[in-house]
Chains A and B, each alone.
Chain A
Amino acid sequence: MLDAAIIEKLKAIVGPGNVLTSKVDLVTYSYDATADVPHQMPDVVVLPNSSEEVSQIICLARTSGTAIYPRGSGTNLSGGTIPLKKGIVLSFQRMNAIVEIDAANLTAVVQPGVVIQALNNAVAPFGLIYPPDPGTVTTASMGGSVAENSGGLRGLKYGVTKHYVMGMEVVLANGEKVRFGGKTVKNVTAYDFSNLFVGSEGTLGVVTEITVKLIPAPKYRRTMMGVFRTIEDAGNSVAGIIKAQVIPATLEIMDQMTIRTVEDFAKVGLPVDAKALLLIEVDGMSDEVVAREAEAVMGVVKENNGELKIASSDAERDQLWTARRNALPALASLNNTVVLEDATVPRSRITDMLVACENIGKKYDLTLGTFGHAGDGNLHPTILCDKYNKEEIARVHQAVDEIFEAALGFGGTLSGEHGIGIAKMKYLGNELGQSGLNLMRSVKEALDPDYLLNPGKMVPLKEV
């Protein structure tokens, strides 16, 4: 329990209405969107309004050695915001102003609590977009997605969050505010701090303002779907499309288990005997180029024995997307717990990884469906299980271990976009080795020697 005097000081900093201490409020900050991780209530939730307040809160926490857990909307999938060591949840929900939209420089400056979609809505009248589009784009905060380096469906062509962060303001663990980067396209001044803090999951500093890059919204697009009798045909199509020098905005894959579940759930007319399905969207600024790219994609799909469906209107596009949009909800409807992974492999190993996931599911007798971003190798093997069945949960854990082993075996990585958090911390050594773990610890301790910021995530706490 925190000293009452500290609570009073917090109230003095942010105002009493922005300090939550009732048990009900603490319960509501004890979880995030991650299944199968421990939940913990903080001692207090603080909702700051400015970077100055954040700095004062961190200084106050330092004096009592209180843990600080920065939090955006709490939609992450790696246990990144759960306050394992209690202490203070620093929630940015109310620090949500769009500070500036600079259409001439194609930049925007936002506070961390801005919801990604809100930024997109605000820049739309200028004909601009902020491309990173995680599945939670309508709810996730900019601060959270920067901390997690979120990806999304457009990653293949447009990149991920780190490609759009040009500068930021960060409050460090010692309470100092620091600003770096800015509106210039080129900037090699000092270390590349933006890329250090993007994806640091709130373990190195607290991001209080972000300058991001915007791009002109693509004007034309073509959407199609390829249905395949074998996973190999689908995998070869993915490779073939890239080889034909087409970079689609979206190149999504669903396995048979997912196809059947979606069809059962949403009745969209998917062929349930198909082994895999690709949803492909090409876009660009010129109708002619987009049409040419679509032709090339169709050629590749046909060459690989795929059956094509092409959207000729917005309504038909929407229909094709319905299948993909329903992938997670449909799978989730099968049981009470959804273990959603994001193991990622080089694009050329997609087929191998899909087969491996299917076999692991069978080996451990689990309900497992895989869908994901085939174009960038980022797959979502999804296990549906019963949280009240301990024996089954044990099998889930073994299966997850093997999924990561397989991904690393194919030259891939533990996490493409969900982050490490609590959920994947124990696997870090398998990918980075001891020297990599040492480097993680050195960086953490250089910036946060007392483990005040998001302790227990990414870098294990030191044994006392």
Chain B
Amino acid sequence: MSANKKHEATIYDDLQAVREELDKCMKCGNCMAVCPVYITDKVESGVTRAKIAVAQAVLDGELELDDPQVYSMLFNCLVCKSCMQNCPTKVNFDRIMLALRAALVRKNGLHWLKKMIFSTLRNPKLFDAGMKVGASLQGIAFRGVKAQKAIAPRSPFAMVGSAIGFDNNRLMPELAVTPLRERVPEVIRVAQPQAKVVFFTGDSLNYFYPDAGMDLVEVLVANNVEVHVPRDQSCCGVPVLVHGDVETVRELARRNIDAMERTGADYLITGCGSCGGAWKHDYTDVLSSDPVYAPKAAYWAERTYDVSTFLTKVISFKKPTGNVEATVTYHDSCHLKKTMKVFNEPREILKSIPGVEFKEMSQPDACCGSGGSYVLSHYETSSAIGRRKAEDINKTGAEVVSTGCPACMMQLLDNVNRFGNKQKTTHYISLLAESYRSEKETVDR
């Protein structure tokens, strides 16, 4: 990025370094056509060019970074990068937003609650223990909704939580009692592997969707790939980066790089657009001035693939023959499509499955409104965005909505339950795994 080269300090260390990036904005307003927040709120402060104007006012000393209004505006953004796809002058708005949030943290420190949560992320054992306690206690606050393998808040908690959408109808995935990384061995060897990969699971697949993670491993193994799943990997850091806590991200990045290095794998595989984006872009960016880890981050950035890209471009995946009778649509996760540029590959996989009737929805790459913690902090806007997505899904008539990012799966689960026809939500890789399994059953019989 040009701003990085010209200034010694990265944009995460010195806000002035983003001025050149801000100046690229012509205020043409093309971002208004795609910004999910603007389309919902219909007020200028929601849209990208307005946030750039406010950032310029901050740099010019006309506004204070920690003005509560500035603060609230900065966090009223999903960092979905839709605007960047529509920007004629290619403003790297995601970097601007993260730089602003990092500057805010430098100025005022982290909010105590965020500090508490993020510090547990730095300590994976503590975080892991916490998630397991959460899994065992979730029955108190939430009731199970068996058909969807999901949970919904019980009434006293629902009343308190209804302001942020934790009402009786809120569906969330069950927190897994046994996380993914404890369900699989650290190395799954196959005879004469065609490749050796390390699976970076990320926390969402580990704790919320371990079944999808298992499916991913199963698909790789079925394709004769040796899979490493190191237990000592941590959160990718994207949830922390979007809150401006760059130091924690740097620490997580170094630790994850070490964990991957120890496996001796040739490729790094992800099943989450945000995790993949961290490896492909964020780590090289935040570690750019680290003499030891910058080259390592660059090494892994080149070897990181979403599992769909690995299957279709790096190896030639085994064509599925097992039948999966379903009408399926696909939602493009923002980070998978707009950061990792992966959108054809999952469709190629879905269309290769016998029995799957693929139906494209209108605007498949419109943000679903999740934005990580945005769904918690801005539930009303998030829900309005999710509702539009659910309505587009409904129009396809599909009974299954697939995607490539666990955060989107959570958001889709809640919104097809509220506004949709309670379609099944799934990771696209699970449909391929199902096809492989049904093929095996047929053979076994």
A binding-site residues for B, Cβ under 8 Å? 20, 22-25, 27-33, 35, 45, 47, 73-75, 91, 93-94, 96, 113, 115, 117, 136, 138-139, 328-329, 332-333, 336, 338, 387
Shortest distance in angstroms between A266's beta carbon and chain B's nearest beta carbon? Answer: 11
Taking a contact as CB atoms closer than 8 A, the residue among B26, B33, B45, B70 that contacts A332 in the complex is: B26
B63 engages A93 (CB within 8 Å): no
Question: From B47, which residue of chain A is reached at the shortest CB distance?
Answer: A28
Shortest distance in angstroms between B177's beta carbon and chain A's nearest beta carbon? Answer: 44
Query: Among residues 2 to 47 in chain B, which have CB atoms less than 8 Å away from a CB atom of chain A?
Result: 20, 23-24, 26-30, 32-33, 42-45
A93 engages B28 (CB within 8 Å): no
Interface locus among B50-58, B183-191, B273-281: B50-58
**How far, in angstroms, from A136 to B73 measured CA to CA in the complex?**
25
User: Total contacts A to B, CB within 8 angstroms?
Assistant: 83
**How far, in angstroms, from A113 to B90 measured CA to CA in the complex?**
27
**How far, in angstroms, from A139 to B57 measured CA to CA in the complex?**
24
Given A73-B29, A75-B29, A139-B30, is A28 in contact with B44 using a C-beta cutoff of 8 Å?
A: yes
**How far, in angstroms, from A145 to B30 measured CA to CA in the complex?**
15
B63 engages A27 (CB within 8 Å): yes
Shortest distance in angstroms between A70's beta carbon and chain B's nearest beta carbon? Answer: 14
B69 engages A24 (CB within 8 Å): yes
A27 engages B30 (CB within 8 Å): no
**Of B29, B57, B62, B70, most A-chain CB atoms within 10 Å:** B29
Question: From B87, which residue of chain A is reached at the shortest CB distance?
Answer: A329
Q: Is B444 an interface residue (CB 8 A)?
A: no
Shortest distance in angstroms between A90's beta carbon and chain B's nearest beta carbon? Answer: 13
Question: From B71, which residue of chain A is reached at the shortest CB distance?
Answer: A24
Could you name 24 residue pairs across A and B whose Cβ atoms are closer than 8 Å? A20-B45, A22-B69, A23-B63, A23-B69, A24-B63, A25-B44, A25-B45, A29-B44, A30-B53, A31-B53, A33-B26, A33-B28, A35-B26, A73-B29, A93-B42, A93-B44, A136-B29, A139-B29, A139-B32, A328-B88, A332-B26, A332-B89, A333-B89, A336-B24
Shortest distance in angstroms between B256's beta carbon and chain A's nearest beta carbon? Answer: 35
Shortest distance in angstroms between B369's beta carbon and chain A's nearest beta carbon? Answer: 20
If A75-B32, A136-B29 are given as contacts, then 14 extra A-B residue pairs at C-beta distance below 8 Å, sorted by A number, are A24-B54, A25-B69, A27-B54, A27-B62, A28-B54, A29-B44, A32-B27, A33-B28, A74-B44, A115-B33, A136-B30, A139-B30, A333-B90, A387-B23
Shortest distance in angstroms between A463's beta carbon and chain B's nearest beta carbon? Answer: 30
The tally of residues in B whose CB lies under 8 Å from a CB in A reads 27
Contacts of A93 in B (CB 8 A): 42-44
Shortest distance in angstroms between B89's beta carbon and chain A's nearest beta carbon? Answer: 5
A73 engages B32 (CB within 8 Å): yes
Given A73-B29, A75-B29, is A336 in contact with B23 using a C-beta cutoff of 8 Å?
A: yes
**How far, in angstroms, from A45 to B42 measured CA to CA in the complex?**
13
Given A27-B54, A30-B53, A139-B29, is A47 in contact with B43 using a C-beta cutoff of 8 Å?
A: yes
**How far, in angstroms, from A237 to B42 measured CA to CA in the complex?**
45
**How far, in angstroms, from A25 to B50 measured CA to CA in the complex?**
9
Contacts of A23 in B (CB 8 A): 63, 67, 69
Shortest distance in angstroms between B186's beta carbon and chain A's nearest beta carbon? Answer: 45
Question: From B29, which residue of chain A is reached at the shortest CB distance?
Answer: A75
**Of B24, B43, B63, B70, most A-chain CB atoms within 10 Å:** B43
Contacts of A336 in B (CB 8 A): 20, 23-24
B binding-site residues for A, Cβ under 8 Å? 20, 23-24, 26-30, 32-33, 42-45, 50, 53-54, 57, 62-63, 67, 69-70, 73, 88-90
Contacts of B89 in A (CB 8 A): 329, 332-333
Shortest distance in angstroms between A50's beta carbon and chain B's nearest beta carbon? Answer: 15
Contacts of A45 in B (CB 8 A): 44
**How far, in angstroms, from A336 to B21 measured CA to CA in the complex?**
9
**How far, in angstroms, from A24 to B65 measured CA to CA in the complex?**
11
Given A24-B69, A24-B70, A28-B50, is A338 in contact with B44 using a C-beta cutoff of 8 Å?
A: no
**How far, in angstroms, from A96 to B26 measured CA to CA in the complex?**
25
**How far, in angstroms, from A406 to B176 measured CA to CA in the complex?**
73
A20 engages B30 (CB within 8 Å): no
Contacts of B53 in A (CB 8 A): 27-28, 30-31
Contacts of B90 in A (CB 8 A): 329, 333
Question: From B24, which residue of chain A is reached at the shortest CB distance?
Answer: A336
**How far, in angstroms, from A426 to B23 measured CA to CA in the complex?**
28
Contacts of B24 in A (CB 8 A): 333, 336
**How far, in angstroms, from A136 to B27 measured CA to CA in the complex?**
12
**Of A24, A117, A332, most B-chain CB atoms within 10 Å:** A24
Question: From A139, which residue of chain B is reached at the shortest CB distance?
Answer: B32
**How far, in angstroms, from A328 to B88 measured CA to CA in the complex?**
8
Shortest distance in angstroms between A185's beta carbon and chain B's nearest beta carbon? Answer: 33
Contacts of A28 in B (CB 8 A): 44-45, 50, 53-54
Contacts of B62 in A (CB 8 A): 27
Contacts of A333 in B (CB 8 A): 24, 89-90
**How far, in angstroms, from A139 to B30 measured CA to CA in the complex?**
6
A75 engages B28 (CB within 8 Å): yes
**How far, in angstroms, from A93 to B57 measured CA to CA in the complex?**
23
Shortest distance in angstroms between B371's beta carbon and chain A's nearest beta carbon? Answer: 20
Shortest distance in angstroms between B299's beta carbon and chain A's nearest beta carbon? Answer: 29
Shortest distance in angstroms between A211's beta carbon and chain B's nearest beta carbon? Answer: 23
Contacts of A30 in B (CB 8 A): 53
**How far, in angstroms, from A138 to B23 measured CA to CA in the complex?**
23
Shortest distance in angstroms between B147's beta carbon and chain A's nearest beta carbon? Answer: 36
**How far, in angstroms, from A115 to B33 measured CA to CA in the complex?**
9
Question: From A92, which residue of chain B is reached at the shortest CB distance?
Answer: B42
Taking a contact as CB atoms closer than 8 A, the residue among A25, A113, A138 that contacts B30 in the complex is: A138
**How far, in angstroms, from A464 to B15 measured CA to CA in the complex?**
44
Question: From A30, which residue of chain B is reached at the shortest CB distance?
Answer: B53
**How far, in angstroms, from A266 to B45 measured CA to CA in the complex?**
31
Q: What 3 pairs across the A-B complex have the smallest Cβ distances?
A: A329-B88, A28-B50, A138-B33
**How far, in angstroms, from A350 to B20 measured CA to CA in the complex?**
36
Question: From A335, which residue of chain B is reached at the shortest CB distance?
Answer: B23
A33 engages B88 (CB within 8 Å): no
B42 engages A94 (CB within 8 Å): yes
**How far, in angstroms, from A338 to B27 measured CA to CA in the complex?**
11
**How far, in angstroms, from A334 to B30 measured CA to CA in the complex?**
19
**Of A32, A73, A138, A139, most B-chain CB atoms within 10 Å:** A139
**How far, in angstroms, from A296 to B378 measured CA to CA in the complex?**
58
**How far, in angstroms, from A338 to B26 measured CA to CA in the complex?**
7
Shortest distance in angstroms between B278's beta carbon and chain A's nearest beta carbon? Answer: 28
Given A27-B54, A117-B33, is A20 in contact with B43 using a C-beta cutoff of 8 Å?
A: yes
Contacts of A329 in B (CB 8 A): 88-90
**How far, in angstroms, from A28 to B43 measured CA to CA in the complex?**
9
Contacts of A115 in B (CB 8 A): 33
Contacts of B28 in A (CB 8 A): 33, 75, 136
Shortest distance in angstroms between A150's beta carbon and chain B's nearest beta carbon? Answer: 14
Given A73-B32, A139-B33, is A31 in contact with B88 using a C-beta cutoff of 8 Å?
A: no
Shortest distance in angstroms between B28's beta carbon and chain A's nearest beta carbon? Answer: 5
Question: From A89, which residue of chain B is reached at the shortest CB distance?
Answer: B44
Question: From A39, which residue of chain B is reached at the shortest CB distance?
Answer: B53
**How far, in angstroms, from A138 to B70 measured CA to CA in the complex?**
28
Shortest distance in angstroms between A404's beta carbon and chain B's nearest beta carbon? Answer: 22
**How far, in angstroms, from A115 to B70 measured CA to CA in the complex?**
28
Shortest distance in angstroms between A331's beta carbon and chain B's nearest beta carbon? Answer: 10
Question: From A325, which residue of chain B is reached at the shortest CB distance?
Answer: B88
Shortest distance in angstroms between A74's beta carbon and chain B's nearest beta carbon? Answer: 6
**How far, in angstroms, from A24 to B53 measured CA to CA in the complex?**
9
Question: From A94, which residue of chain B is reached at the shortest CB distance?
Answer: B42
Contacts of B42 in A (CB 8 A): 47, 93-94, 96, 113
A24 engages B45 (CB within 8 Å): yes
**How far, in angstroms, from A193 to B90 measured CA to CA in the complex?**
42
**How far, in angstroms, from A74 to B23 measured CA to CA in the complex?**
19
Contacts of A113 in B (CB 8 A): 42
